Amino acid sequence: MNKMIRTYTVFDVLIILVMTAGVFLTFNLLKSGRPDSVVVFRQNTIIAEYPLLPDAVFTVNGKVGVVNIEIKNGAVRIAHANCPRKICRQSSGIRNSYGQLVCAPNNILVRIRSSKNGSDVDAVAY
């Protein structure tokens, strides 16, 4: 019975090192920076920006009516909306810069912006 003994070549070791470095670099790039503000969009235009701390409730005007957005304990949620089904209120709050809240009838999108390098890139969507 012949046993094959596999030895690693320099090329094999190089590939393993490059792949390992790539994993660590990718993980660092995908990590969000410290979330620091809440940005509200209406029809792809920023209409409001608020700090994530301290706790607050603010109102924005949407297409159908008003939307109350609540910031509490570093999380953001839609507390009240004048829309027919109020589906946006059923979603849980967001805490990370990759989360979004949407009130479609009001054309309102709420995101948390991260301070990391001034960048707001979402690796999942872009």
pLDDT at 96: 82
pLDDT at 117: 47
Handedness of CA 115, 120, 125, 126 (dihedral sign): negative
Nearest in space to 95 (alpha carbons), one of 72, 119, 67, 123:
72
CA distance 39 to 51: 9
Q: Give the whole-number percent of the chain exceeding pLDDT 90.
A: 24
Q: What pTM, to 2 d.p., does this model score?
A: 0.64
Nearest in space to 30 (alpha carbons), one of 125, 122, 96:
122
Domains of the chain by range and CATH?
A: 35-117 (2.60.320.10)
Compute the average pLDDT of residues 99-116: 86
pLDDT beyond 90 at 68: yes
